[in-house]
Each structure stands twice: as C-alpha cells, then as structure tokens.
Structure 1
C-alpha cells in the first residue's frame, strides 16, 4: 500500500488536505468521497519513508497459468465470478496473491467490474490480461477469454524457459572459467613465484607477465572489486537512458549467433501477443499499442509504434514495417497477406508457430555451437597460465 497526499473541499466548502493510505489512487479518491471530500489534487508519496514493506512475491508465471485455467473452469461451470475469486483466494499458497484476490472479491461485491478490479493491481495482472477480461465481459465469453489467456501465458512461459535453457549453460561455463582463472592466479601461481626467485634465472617475458598479474590481483583485489562495482553502477545508470537502452538493444541483435536467437524470441512474443489480441476482437490500434509495451526490444517496439502511426493514417501495417531490417521479409509478406485477406490474426498465429518451432532448433544449435567454443576458451585460459609456470620449470630441471 502507498500513502497519498491530497487536497480537496468538504461538503461545507472548507479546504481539506492531508495524507491517507490506500492500495491505489482510485481507492484513495473513493475513500475520500465517502467522507464527503471532493478531491481536486492527489499525489502518491514515492519516498521510501512512505512506502509499506511488501511481504510476499508476485505470482510465478507457471502458477499464474494454473490460476487462469482454474478461473476459466469455475466460470464455465456457472459459478459466479465473486465466488470463483473467493475459491481461488482460499486455495492459493501465495499469501500476497491471496490478499490481492480478497481485495478483488470486495471490489466485485461493491459492484465493480472484474477488469477494473484487476486494473488496480497491475503488479499481478498485466494490461494485456485486463483488456482481454474487459473484452470477455462485454462479449459474454469470459471463460473462453481466460482459457485463451492461459494458453498465451503458457506459451510465454515455454518461451522464457527456452531462452533460459539456451543461455544458462554459456553463463555457467563463463562464471566457472573466471573462478578457475582467479584461483590459479591467487593460490597456485604465488607458490612458484618464490621458487623461481630462489634460482635467480631470467624468466621468459610471458611468465614474468603472469607473475606480475598474480601479484597485482593479490595486492589490489579490493580495487578491482570497487572497479567492477563502479562499472555495474554506471551500466545501471546508462540503461535508464532511453537512447543508451536503444543502442544496447540494437547491439544485442548484432551479436553473432545469439543476436539471431534473441530476434526470433522477440518476434515470437510479438506475433503471439498480436494474434491473441486480434483473435479476441480487440481493436488493432489497441492491440499494437499493448504489444509495443510487452516486447523487450526497443527496436521492435519502435517499429510497432511506426506501424500504429501508419494504421492511424489509414496505411498498411506491413508497408510501415518493410524498411526495417529487424522485421524479416517473410513476416512482412505474411502480415501484408493477412491485411489484404482480412485474416491478420490467423497469419500472425502461423508466424508465431513458425518461429516457435524455429526457436527450438535455434536453441539446440546455440548450445551445440557455444559448448565447444567455451570449452576451448576455458582450455586456452587455463593452459596459458599453466604454460607460464611449466616453461621455466624445464629450464630449472636442466640446471639441476
């Protein structure tokens, strides 16, 4: 919950101002109106001192899919929405989510719609879901909409798992390589430093470099740690800049092998979202706007923004996408066919299916290519340090 500072007037016309605690701004205004205060200014106090400590975590995507499936089943069985929410609140193991569902049940009992009640808890219910629920309430097929959304989030979960699986191994090997290198330089190389010094022989330049690097790391490890922390802070600051974040997203797509994988994953997400929205009769302009906020790459988001501008002017979405290389020609052509035939949702669904299958193959290829590459890099790094020690040892043995 947050604290809100407000200004308003009572029924007698007196100026009222102060602070109050509420889940959302809408709830705060409603509470003040019940007290006879007409609000003309209200603002959330974002300071750390005014924020409550959140207990519990947002629901996991896998559990969220199960929630939607169960919700759909209960609605289809004819159980009223508020009773369905109450049942789901009692059986969930996530206390924070159970609290949110209880709040939604209270809002429903007060006459609020399900979509409006969900909209007050954006941390748990994405804009895509609330819009779809709103469409389901209007059309009367809420159970079908919830089932469709469960399918959608299930695919999104599978997509995230594919990305994690493909990138987890390279990350793990990279961390292991860094740890092994640091261990050798800090604990193993120093053992031979005194040995080499005692013989007084001239060491190869390469060995001298490794020994000095080892000494440097031992004496200034705190400085290196501070430098890494500084880089992390600078990076986190730069990412907040939209211009820098755009360049980073562009760079990600240019990384050999991995860039293609990221592009396919984002295109899968884009086409799945658009297809789901259009299939549920959400207007195309709203669908593109929602999708623009969901994709994780700013280049693709910019193309969607330009496509929305083109649609507002009565132009073709495919034509707006055509000049941008981030959207492959095959995608542009299929969208163009969908626009001409009035079956854009079906075409987008086919594109999503194609890239989903292609992503499976790309994931396998990525692991097959990166695995030997990382092993070779690890072998070179470790071998280089070992050679720096072994080469002078041969000279020492000859002297003995």
Structure 2
C-alpha cells in the first residue's frame, strides 16, 4: 500500500509542540499511530514530497517481487492440496525443506487440539524471539570478523608487496641476514611467484572440506569440537540450549505430544552434535523414561536446565519452565557475548600490532646493523 507524507503539528510526550513530517497510508492510520506513540495531534496537512508531485512512483524491487512470486506459487500448491482433501499440516510438510519442521508440527498440534489460532500466535512469537536472538548473534560477530579480514589483508600486503621490495633492496648488499628475515623473504617470494597455485590449492581445500562435511557424521564431529572451544563453546552451548527449550516449549504449549515435540525440537538445533544427542534421547522417551533422564544421558545439557525441566515435569508446567530456560540463556548469552567481545577485540588488535612490529623489525634490523657497520668502518 502506498504511503504518503503528512506535515503534522504535534505535542510530544515531553510536553513540546513541534512540526514534523510523518509517513502513513492514510490520515486515519496516521492518527492511530501517533496516539500509540504518545503524541497529541493539533493539525495535519498533506506534504508535497516527490511522490505527491508525481516525480517519484513507488516500485516493488525485483528481488522482493521474485520472493513474493515464489512464496505465492508455494502457497497456491498448498491450497490445491488442501482442496484435494489433504490436511493443512501435511500440505506444508509435503513442500519439503521450503518450510521449517516447526511449522508443520505446530499445524498438527492446532488440528488435533482445535486451537489453530492460538497455536499460530505462539508460533509467531517463537519466530520473532528466535529471529531477534539470531540478529543479535550476527551483529555481535561482525566486528571480530572485520578485524580478522583486516589482519588477513594486512598480512597479504606485507607478504606480497612490502617484503619482496626489501628482498630486492638487500640483494644488492653482502649482508648476513638473520634467520627470521631469510625465512620471511623465502615465504614471501614463494607466495609471489606461486600466488595462483596457492589460491587454487586453498579453493580445492575449501571444496574438499565442504564435501567432507556432507558425509554423515562429519558435521557432528566439527560441532562437537566447536563446543569444546573455550568461551565460544559455552556461547554455542547456550544458544543451542535456548533453541531446544524455546522450540520444545512452543510445541508442548500448542498441544503436541512430548515425543513428537522433541523430535521436531532436535531438528531445530543449529549445533549438529547437540541435535544428534537430543534426537537419540527420543528413543529413551519411547522406552518410558522421563525427559529429564533422557536429556541427562546425552551429556550435552547442563545441570540448571535439567533441574528446571525436572521441576516442570513434576508440576505439570513443563512448557512454562522451558520458556524460562530459553529466556535465561538468551540473557546469559547476550552478557557473555559482550564479555567475550571485550576480550577478543584488544587481543586481536595487540596480535596484529605484534605481527606487524615483528615483521618490520625483522627487515629493518639488518639495515640498522649495516648502517652501524658502515659508520664504524668510516670512523676507523
């Protein structure tokens, strides 16, 4: 829907009277939006923006149109399947990996319990919370990644440009260079002369690693190793626990049986090692063991989570307890990420400074020694 600009004279929540331009679909929507924000509207008039003058016509971006067309086609397929007698949950499940497993599982719960609207509302809340958590994790990792890229770029420039120039300079002198200087020169010259082969080798190694990850069990091995990394491993464990608890809570509160809910929740965990462990716990649930005992046997779930799950099972409020677990770990992860980043940033900066200083020292030290020798020889 086309949005229009309105010039409004409003009273702010702070008690000031100001004139500002707001955008809304119509005047009624504008008034509602301003009231919700705590503004008091004195007067309003249409703005004369480029859109109103006919100089700018709003268009849908090609990428958004492509996504819309794909989603519409998928939904029309689902509609046709429902019309042919298939259940809504089965229709979405038949689309394969296009939709996450939690969607079809939630729809099954809604169909069984006859409370589809409330189940979908819980699903919306779940997706909103998990998406917000994912965005926070991505935002927190941007700066360290930028530092790593800067460090890699700096090393590449030093090895491919700076060091070869020093090598040409020292080639004209009969100097006994230190071992570290000779090693760096050899590596730099080798990289400069074989840069294409090095790039191809790195690309081949990357492709081989990706193919190895596709083998069954390979990703589990990598993720298990990542969980053992200091600091970062604990963050990954907290994130995986939050995913498990949040998904399981949403499905249980929607009315899905524990066994089915746990199977879907296992698939929602990003860490494959923990996902495999939780999936294995479903066999113990089938044998009649409690959720607490099944999760404890995996060795992947910490004591606090197990205690809260146990209380939830005993009180019949497992869904609420799992929600509390997810909320707790979301907050803990945010605090821990801030602590880790406060350590990572200075460590990376110091590491970059030490590397650059060591490389410069390795190449300037022989020069200083040569100058000193010349001065001594001249003085004699």
TM-score in same-fold range (> 0.5): yes
Q: What is the CA–CA distance in structure 2 between the aligned matches of 1:306 and 1:121, rounded to whole Å?
A: 26
Answer yes or no: is 1:232 the counterpart of 2:198. no
Answer yes or no: is 1:358 the counterpart of 2:329. no
1:374 to 348, 354, 361: 348
* Residue 105 of structure 1, CA deviation: 3.3
Answer yes or no: is 1:143 the counterpart of 2:120. no
Alignment partner, residue 88 of structure 2: 114
Alignment partner, residue 75 of structure 2: 101
| Aligned 8 A contact 1:92 1:98 in 2 | no
Q: What is the CA–CA distance in structure 2 between the aligned matches of 1:322 and 1:333, rounded to whole Å?
A: 10
1:343 to 317, 332, 343: 317
1:158-237 alignment, distance < 5 Å: 158-237=132-211
Alignment partner, residue 57 of structure 1: none
Over residues 231-280 of structure 1, what are the superposed CA-to-partner deviations in whole Å (9 max), with x where a residue is unaligned?
A: 21221122122333222111000111111111100000000000001011
Over residues 87-138 of structure 1, what are the superposed CA-to-partner deviations in whole Å (9 max), with x where a residue is unaligned?
A: xxx9996221122223333334444433233223233322211121232234
Q: What is the CA–CA distance in structure 1 between the aligned matches of 2:109 and 2:65, rounded to whole Å?
A: 27
Alignment partner, residue 244 of structure 1: 218
* Residue 188 of structure 1, CA deviation: 1.2
Distance 1:263 1:91, change over 3 A: same
* Residue 397 of structure 1, CA deviation: 2.8
* Residue 369 of structure 1, CA deviation: 1.2
Answer yes or no: is 1:268 the counterpart of 2:233. no
Alignment partner, residue 274 of structure 2: 300
| Aligned 8 A contact 1:162 1:363 in 2 | no
Gaps in structure 1 of 5+ consecutive residues: 1-89
2:108 to 134, 141, 159: 134
* Residue 349 of structure 1, CA deviation: 1.0
Q: What is the CA–CA distance in structure 2 between the aligned matches of 1:348 and 1:220, rounded to whole Å?
A: 56
| Aligned 8 A contact 1:268 1:352 in 2 | yes
Q: What is the CA–CA distance in structure 2 between the aligned matches of 1:317 and 1:143, rounded to whole Å?
A: 28
Alignment partner, residue 56 of structure 1: none
Q: What is the CA–CA distance in structure 1 between the aligned matches of 2:309 and 2:196, rounded to whole Å?
A: 55
Over residues 290-315 of structure 1, what are the superposed CA-to-partner deviations in whole Å (9 max), with x where a residue is unaligned?
A: 11122122332233234322221111
1:63-78 alignment, distance < 5 Å: none
2:253 to 279, 285, 293: 279
Aligned-residue RMSD, C-alpha: 2.1
Over residues 364-398 of structure 1, what are the superposed CA-to-partner deviations in whole Å (9 max), with x where a residue is unaligned?
A: 11211111111112112222221122112212333
Q: Which moved more, 1:307-316 or 1:273-282?
A: 307-316
| Aligned 8 A contact 2:281 2:298 in 1 | no
Q: Which moved more, 1:367-376 or 1:379-388?
A: 379-388
Over residues 18-51 of structure 1, what are the superposed CA-to-partner deviations in whole Å (9 max), with x where a residue is unaligned?
A: xxxxxxxxxxxxxxxxxxxxxxxxxxxxxxxxxx
Distance 1:241 1:143, change over 3 A: same
Distance 1:166 1:117, change over 3 A: same
Specify the structure having the higher radius of gyration (Cα): 2
What is the number of residues matched between the two proteins? Answer: 311
| Aligned 8 A contact 1:166 1:366 in 2 | no
1:27-46 alignment, distance < 5 Å: none
3-state SS of paired residue (2:133)? helix
Alignment partner, residue 76 of structure 1: none
